[in-house]
């Protein structure tokens, strides 16, 4: 602990300059003329930490990189140290076992969780594995009081805590990366956006597909290159097998939090803490959890168009949890190209799906795009050209469509016509479209842009680049809010048993 205090005093002078520099650049990049708000960070006396970390101390010389902090290094706090936080940590720090590179210049200075076991474990991992000396806190408020050297916070707590934590961090002058769903209620989500606006701090919502280059190319194929023609339908799903639906509680009950400690933070049991996603007061259920990633893409790929209505059906009669385990929703959109109908389903009772367990398909009158965040060497996503295009007598249509497809092949956005590998055909029922044996239903073309990084890394990079004034956020609070409006409405539609219409102002903060 003494080490830390010493270090932060050393860093302080440089720090103010660095933070001001970064913010100024950011403002310029975002096209803002004036700097809003002042810099935080009066020197404060550091109290010895209440939570003790027994992680092995690293040798003094190993800490040199921290002392010699570069001007665009970013000091980060990690709030919420559950399983999802490990994904984000790995994305930031790299994974040595996979020779996976991390993001340069990110220094974890503080970690926070109410569950002492996780707090100890993650701070220990950071110290041992990555030589980050992050101060552990049980309370985020205490953390914000004491840590005066932070520029950003990453919030990976249950949904119901996103708003208070994000707002407190923004008010404390930190930029915030907040996991989706932004909040489990829209009023809170709105306050998050308003606070970000008022404080002039960045708020990135964790819809990480928005920064995934595979998705970015896919969006271009649809909107810029118009490969699919008129998109009229979307189908997407996230189906999970029964054994995947719940997080297992730690086997060793000795490490569990006791009832009083849990209650202090609003949880009635360890199950409520670990499986908060199934409780109404804590999260939005599987639809909010999984669906929001994918329903977010619908709007994006349709040209930032918000849905006009939603109809839905869902139930919880399998597990009898508070949230619906299985949900089906139909969204309607009005685009420049007319109405679009989108079907989304999330299941927790079956892992099977037409194209695999989770994916999004965009279906146009000329072609189909199939993409999933999960990609393999052989199955990186596809575009299918409707067979009739090559057989039509309409020479004008045929040459116009083929020109667009060939352009994309030349630009190496998609591959040439491709014979679907047998194992992929067998893995699903892709060949079902061919109603005449031996005759192709479609012409398959693979998507070529690959993502070699962990899936969350580009989105975090985008956040840090924005702080450094090098980029604009791919999913600012406003976008996250629009998605939350669209997604949370489906739960309402289930209860009401009717089509619910969205008004344009519903999506405005």
Longest Cα pair distance anywhere in the chain, in angstroms? 80
CB 467, CB 71: distance < 8 Å: no
Cβ neighbors of 460 (< 8 A, separation 6 or more) are 88, 91, 92, 103, 154, 177
Residue (48 or 437) nearer to another protein, CB: 437
**Residue 357 neighbours by CB distance under 10 Å:** 17
Map the footprint of another protein across residues 108-147, applying CB under 8 A: none
47: alpha, beta or left? (left if phi > 0; alpha if psi -120 to 50): beta
CB of 184 or CB of 235, closer to another protein: 235
Rounded to whole angstroms, the Cα distance separating 339 from 341 reads 7
- The residues that bridge with 364 in the sheet, in sequence order, are 231
For another protein, the closer CB: 196 or 290 = 290
In whole angstroms, how close is the CB of 507 to another protein at the nearest point? 20
Between 9 and 350, name the residue whose CB sits nearer to another protein. 350
**Number of amino acids touching another protein (CB under 8 A):** 84
Cβ distance to another protein smaller for residue 11 or 158: 158
Q: Which of 384, 405, 444, 464 binds another protein (CB under 8 A)?
A: 384
Q: Name which of residues 208 to 247 contact another protein (CB under 8 A).
A: 230, 232-233, 235, 238-244, 247
- CA triple 205-119-58, angle to 5 deg: 110
Binders of another protein among 302-341, rule CB under 8 A?
309, 311-315, 317-318, 326, 328, 330, 332, 338-341
Measure the CA–CA gap between 396 and 405, rounded to whole angstroms: 14
Q: Which two tokens stand for residue 428?
A: 């699903």
Please tell me whether residue 54 binds another protein under the rule CB under 8 A: no
Residues 153-212 that bind another protein (CB under 8 A): none
Beta carbon of residue 392, minimum distance to another protein (angstroms, whole number):
7
Among positions 442, 444, 481, 507, the unique one binding another protein when judged by CB under 8 A: 442
The residue within the footprint of another protein, chosen from 68, 497, 503, 505 (CB under 8 A), is 497
Q: Cα(first)–Cα(last) distance of the chain, in Å?
A: 43
Q: Rounded distance, CA 177 to CA 197, Å?
A: 15
Q: Select the span of 8-16, 82-90, 117-125, 159-167 touching another protein (CB under 8 A).
A: 82-90
Quick check: 374 binds another protein (CB under 8 A)? yes
d(CA 400, CA 388): 14
Q: What is the contact mask toward another protein in residues 349 to 368, using x (rule: CB under 8 A)? A: xxxx-x-xxx--x-xxx--x
Cα 494 to chain center, whole Å?
A: 25
Per-position b or e across 163-173, b if 16+ CB within 10 A of its CB: bbbbbbbbebb
Strands (DSSP E) contained in 438-480 are 442-446
Triad 207, 213, 217: Cα angle to 5° = 110
454 binds another protein per the rule CB under 8 A = yes
- Residue 402 lies near another protein (rule: CB under 8 A): no
Chain residues 269-298 in contact with another protein, contact rule CB under 8 A:
289-290
How near is the Cβ of 463 to another protein at its closest, in Å?
18
In whole angstroms, give the CA distance from residue 462 to residue 501. 34
Tell me: does residue 388 bind another protein (CB under 8 A).
yes
Residue 125 or 326 having the CB closest to another protein: 326
Of 34-42, 388-396, 460-468, 469-477, which part binds another protein (CB under 8 A)? 388-396
Q: How far is the CB of 315 from another protein (least distance, A)?
A: 5
């Amino acid at each position: 602990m003494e080490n830390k205090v010493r270090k932060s005093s050393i860093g302080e002078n440089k720090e103010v300059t660095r933070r001001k520099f970064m913010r100024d650049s950011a403002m310029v990049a975002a096209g803002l003329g004036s700097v809003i708000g002042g810099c935080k960070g009066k020197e404060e006396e550091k109290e010895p930490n209440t939570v003790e970390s027994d992680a092995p101390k690293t040798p003094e010389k190993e800490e040199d990189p921290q002392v010699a902090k570069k001007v665009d290094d970013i000091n980060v706090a990690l709030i919420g140290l559950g399983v999802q936080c490990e994904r984000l940590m790995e994305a930031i720090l790299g994974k040595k076992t996979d020779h996976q590179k991390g993001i340069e210049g990110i220094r974890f200075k503080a970690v926070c969780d109410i569950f002492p076991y996780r707090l100890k474990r993650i701070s220990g991992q950071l110290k041992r594995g990555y030589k980050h000396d992050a101060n552990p806190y049980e309370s985020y408020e205490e953390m914000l009081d004491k840590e005066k050297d932070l520029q950003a916070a990453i919030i990976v707590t249950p949904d119901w805590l996103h708003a208070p934590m994000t707002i407190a961090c923004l008010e404390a002058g930190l930029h915030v990366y907040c996991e989706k769903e932004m909040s489990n209620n829209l009023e809170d989500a709105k306050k998050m956006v308003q606070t970000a606006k008022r404080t002039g701090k960045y708020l990135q919502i964790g819809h990480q597909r928005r920064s995934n280059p595979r998705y970015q190319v896919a969006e271009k194929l649809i909107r810029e290159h118009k490969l699919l023609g008129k998109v009229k339908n979307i189908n997407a799903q996230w189906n999970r097998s029964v054994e995947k639906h719940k997080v297992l509680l730690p086997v060793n009950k000795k490490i569990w939090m006791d009832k009083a400690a849990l209650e202090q933070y609003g949880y009635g049991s360890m199950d409520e803490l670990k499986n908060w996603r199934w409780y109404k007061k804590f999260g939005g259920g599987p639809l909010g959890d999984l669906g929001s990633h994918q329903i977010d893409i619908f709007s994006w790929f349709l040209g930032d168009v918000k849905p006009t209505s939603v109809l839905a059906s869902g139930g919880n009669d399998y597990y009898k949890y508070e949230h619906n385990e299985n949900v089906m929703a139909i969204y309607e959109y009005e685009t420049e190209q007319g109405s679009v109908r989108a079907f989304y389903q999330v299941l927790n009772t079956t892992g099977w799906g037409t194209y695999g367990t989770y994916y999004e398909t965009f279906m146009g009158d000329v072609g189909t795009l199939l993409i999933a965040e999960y990609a393999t060497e052989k199955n990186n996503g596809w575009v299918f050209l409707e067979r009739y295009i090559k057989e039509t007598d309409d020479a004008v249509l045929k040459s116009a469509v083929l020109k667009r497809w060939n352009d994309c092949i030349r630009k190496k956005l998609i591959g040439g016509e491709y014979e679907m590998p047998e194992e992929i055909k067998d893995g699903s029922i892709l060949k079902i479209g061919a109603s005449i044996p031996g005759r192709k239903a479609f012409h398959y073309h693979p998507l070529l842009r690959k993502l070699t990084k962990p899936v969350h890394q580009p989105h975090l990079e985008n956040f840090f680049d924005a702080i450094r004034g090098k980029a604009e956020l791919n999913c600012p609070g406003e976008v996250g809010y629009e998605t939350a409006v669209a997604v949370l409405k489906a739960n309402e539609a289930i209860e009401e048993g009717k089509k619910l219409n969205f008004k344009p102002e519903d999506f405005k903060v």
